[in-house]
Amino acid sequence: MKAAGRRVLMCSCEGSMPLDPAAIATALGTEAPDQIYFQLCRAQIEAYRAQMASGESLVVCCGQEAPLFAELAAQAGASAPVCVDIRDRAGWSVDARQAAPKMAALIAESVLDLTPTPSVTLVSEGRILILGHDQAVLEAARRLSPERAVTCLLLPDHSPDLVPPLVRALGIFRGRPRRASGHLGAFSLAVDDLAGASPSARGMLAFETGVGERTLGADVVLDLTSGPPLLAPRDGWLRVDPDNAAALEKALAEVTALMGEFEKPRWITVDAAICAHSRNGQVACTRCFDVCPSGALTPGGQAAAWDAHACSGHGPCASVCPTGAIRFDVPAGNGLYQRLATLLETFAAAGGKRPVLLIHDAERGAESVAVLARFGQGLPAHVLPMAYSTVAALGPDLLLTALAKGASRVVVLADPAKRGDLGPLDAAASLAGRVVAALGWSCEVRVVVEADPAALAAALAAETPPAVEPAAEYLVLGGKRQTLTLALAHLHRHAPKPVEMLDLEAGEPFGAIVVDQAKCTLCLACIPVCPAKALSGHADKPSLGFIEANCVQCGLCRVTCPEKAITLVPRLSFTPMARARQTLKEEEPYCCIRCGKPFASKSVIDRMVERMSGHSMFAAPGKLDLIKMCEDCRVIAQYEGEEAGRPLAGPKPPVTRTTDDYLRERDAKKE
């Protein structure tokens, strides 16, 4: 049996799970396998070696023994096989005999050719900086110093009875840390009143005279201060309560391991062109900064600046970004949507009904699924598990797309230890739920924050609601807004109870704007700052146009408007008018009183005349007329009139003499 050009090796794991190879092959659009293995990882290992020798790319339907199969491939000089777990996720279940559609979907997902995410390299040479107040600092340094370069920084209020080590194999300083920056392999700590330990201290630890502010560098920081953090949590900076012996032992083990070269994904991408942070010094959107726990996102002029080395891949920044300027890029591009579509479409093609999409993280969530399989009833046959790097990155675009493509329910399993990152996910699930409910659909989104597999089993045991019919078949190729638009259009087009308008909460990424006609002067300052191209002008007349479907409610137009004439209205419109340009205000252009050229809006000129009428610069008769002239005529008018009215005019320029002038003078002399 082949899938995407790869030979698929199926094993029943010693007969512990029933397999229907014919149904799986039919769902994958291929021929049934010649053999179903019984114990491919042990008794039939030679069959695996023979398949490797054929030179074909392999898919092994086993997740537990993946390291063994990869090791054997390396020994044979062959490419490592794709290993897909169809046992814990499908075969070990009370519904195993109905799990063929799910097994086919899992195999199809595993052979997708996804673009890998670029990586970031971090280099640590093992320089360790330990911060704290008491003997725990020196004890930790003593244990680490034989193999690492260790520096201790004791805070000014440190314990007075600290005993220095007999042999000084580390740096000991006292000082007040002020600020910190950097990442694993490149931390920097600014310290006030830095003082080194006196080498002649006979009893307790003593320090020399301070040398002022200095900067200490380190690859890894062990923070035992128990005070306010100097730096947002990130790789290489470990904060531990020194009184918690177990946590301290774990931290010492982690610190020891943080030496060498490390790679991590470039978790996100930032498109500065559509970032709604600020324009022209006016700040509107700070959603990503507000939810970034590692401090990797900071204001960078008009857009968010991202430090890939400091980012720990928490993900809520991608969930809250209204424009899609921040994208969680694991896998790169539209890989997540390819996985989603493959799972749902293969399951449906194999005859599966009412699928439940279970999205979980690759660690704790996968453990819960395995525990249910080994000690419980396993996952139901209609539950399609999909592991993801961090569920906190999921936004309404993914959730609504999953429902539009036929998922009866989307269950997001989150780790309670990461509860602090889940606010944006909860908001996205709430928005998706309100949208489908308003349209009359019964499908839904649930966020389950549990570490207990029994709680997951209870959530999955609920009766499954009907799915959207027909399921959407479009490809997801664009950004966040385009993806949302496609999903919403499909859900509304086939809705049991379509509505034209849905009121939303402030801050949600859909809506309109209301323009105060009396205040708006059609200066059009709001148009160039709109990152979503929702606002536009007109080539022939002063006009402010608006496309509601593009609006992300970022507020840049509101904070930029000099007249404070714009109000945001959060709502979701399904009407055709939402996708068409609507004219919010329009006037005939104001024409120059001197040359007749149109050059501004009547509202702008009237407002300027009104405001300047009492100003000393325009007190003289006729001065206000300058405001009513175009830029060319205004300059000409200022240099016309009496000399007294032109103090900066200067003398009249000399008249240029020509050949005719010289000839005329010569003829006059002759006469």
The answer to whether the beta carbons of residues 604 and 575 sit under 8 Å apart is no
Dist CA 400 CA 228 (whole Å): 40
The answer to whether residue 24 sits within a structural domain is yes
- Domain residues for the domain of 354 are 335-499
- Cα R_g (the chain), whole angstroms: 35
CA distance linking residue 454 with residue 252, whole number of Å: 34
Which CATH number characterizes residue 310's domain? 3.30.70.20
Higher pLDDT, 639 or 607: 607
Mean pLDDT of 191-196: 95
> Using CA atoms, how far apart are residues 487 and 412, in angstroms rounded to an integer?
19
Same domain for 463 and 598, yes or no, is no
Beta bridge partners of 359: 386, 412
405 part of a folded domain: yes
Two tokens, residue 469: 């019919």
Same domain, 346 and 358: yes
Average pLDDT rounded to a whole number, residues 345-360: 96
CA angle 317, 322, 323 (to 5 degrees): 105
DSSP secondary-structure letter at 618? G
**Cβ contacts of 445 within 8 Å, gap of 6 or more:** 399, 403, 409, 410, 412, 429, 432, 433
State how far Cα 487 lies from the chain centre: 20
What tens digit of pLDDT does each residue of 243-276 get?
999 999 999 999 999 999 999 999 999 999 999 9
CB atoms within 10 A of CB 387: 17
How are beta strands 501-503 and 409-414 bridged, if at all?
A: unpaired
Separation CA 551–CA 534 (nearest Å):
5
Residue 368 and residue 441 in one domain: yes
Neighbours of 298 (CB within 10 A): 13
Q: How many CB atoms lie within 10 A of CB 638?
A: 15
- Residue 552, both tokens: 């992300």
> What pLDDT shows up at residue 617?
82
Whether the CA torsion 264, 236, 67, 103 is positive or negative: it is: negative
**Whether residue 565 is found in the same domain as residue 443:** no
Q: Are 554 and 570 in contact (CB under 8 A)?
A: no
Domain co-membership, 520 together with 607? no
User: 341 with 470, same domain?
Assistant: yes
Q: Please count the other Cβ atoms lying within 10 Å of the Cβ belonging to residue 167.
A: 8
Strands 326-328 and 268-270: antiparallel
Residues 463 and 346 in one domain: yes
Q: How many CA atoms lie within 13 A of 534 on its CB side?
A: 27
Nearest to 414 by CA among 449, 445, 384: 449
| Percentage of the chain lying above the pLDDT 90 cut | 83
Q: Among 586, 621, 636, which residue terminates a domain?
A: 586
Region of residue 135 (left: phi > 0; alpha: psi -120 to 50; beta: else)? alpha
Residue 615: predicted pLDDT: 86
Tokens of 62: 């086993």
The per-residue pLDDT for 652 is: 73
462 and 487 fall within a common domain: yes
**102 in any annotated domain:** no
Distance, in Å, from the CA atom of 315 to the CA atom of 422, rounded to the nearest integer, reads 9
Q: Characterize 37-52 residue by residue with b for buried, 16 or more Cβ atoms within 10 angstroms of its Cβ, and e for exposed.
A: beebbeebbeebeebb
- 423 three-state secondary structure: helix
Is position 99 within any domain? no
Residue type, 262: F
Q: Are residues 411 and 294 in the same domain?
A: no
If pLDDT is split at 50, 70 and 90, which confidence band does 203 have?
confident
Question: Does 137 have pLDDT greater than 60?
Answer: yes
Residue 278 is encoded by which pair of tokens?
Answer: 């600020």
Residues 445-495 pLDDT 10s: 999 999 999 999 999 999 999 999 999 999 999 999 999 999 999 999 999
DSSP string, 58-112: EEES-STTHHHHHHHHHHTT-PPPEE---IIIIISSTTGGG-HHHHHHHHHHHT-
Torsion of CA 283, 284, 285, 291, to 10 degrees: 60
Lowest mean pLDDT among 56-60, 578-582, 634-638: 634-638
Give the pLDDT confidence of 360-375 residue by residue, as tens digits: 999 999 999 999 999 9
* Average pLDDT across the chain, whole number: 93
Q: How far apart are CA 353 and CA 620, in angstroms?
A: 83
Place 34 in a pLDDT band, splitting at 50, 70 and 90.
confident
- Return the exposure string of 214-225: e unless at least 16 CB atoms fall within 10 Å of the residue's CB, then b: eebebbbbbbbb
Q: Which two tokens stand for residue 577?
A: 């008018």
Q: State which of 240, 263, 286 marks the end of a domain.
A: 263
Q: Judge whether 555 and 486 are in contact, CB under 8 Å.
A: no
Per-residue HEC secondary structure of 145-184 comes to: CCCCEEEEEECCCCCCCCCCCCCCCCEEEEEEEEEEECCC
Task: Give the pLDDT score at 643.
Answer: 43
Which one, of 119, 120, 117, 122, lies nearest residue 262 by Cα? Answer: 122
- Beta bridge partner(s), residue 118: none
Contact predicate 460/380, CB 8 Å: yes
- pLDDT value for 644: 42
Q: Can you read off the two tokens belonging to residue 397?
A: 């675009």
Model pLDDT, residue 427: 97
Average pLDDT for 666-671: 87
Record the tokens describing residue 468, joined without a space.
């959207």
Examine residue 545 and state whether it is found in any structural domain, yes or no: yes
Residue 638 in any domain: the answer is yes
| DSSP of 491-557 | HHHT-SS--SEEE--TTSS-EEEEE-TTT-----THHHH-TT--EE--SSS-EEEE-GGG-----HH
Does 659 fall in a domain? Answer: no
Kindly give the pairing relationship between strand 409-414 and strand 383-388.
Answer: unpaired
Same structural domain for residues 229 and 241?
yes
pLDDT of residue 575: 95
Average of per-residue pLDDT across 532-546: 93
Distance CA 211, CA 234 (A): 30
- Of 45, 602, 552, 616, nearest to 274 (Cα)? 552
* Tens digits of residue pLDDT in 616-660: 888 888 889 889 999 999 888 877 754 445 555 566 778 888 999
β-strand partners of 37: 11
State whether 443 and 297 are in the same domain.
no
534 pLDDT higher than 80: yes
C-alpha separations of 280 from 303, 515, 530 in Å: 11, 21, 12
Of 84, 106, 131, which marks where a domain is finished? 84
Residue 556 lies in a domain: yes
H-helix or E-strand containing 360? strand 356-361
Q: Are residues 271 and 294 in the same domain?
A: yes
How many domains in the chain?
6
426 band by pLDDT with thresholds 50, 70 and 90? very high
Residues 238/223, Cβ–Cβ less than 8 Å: yes
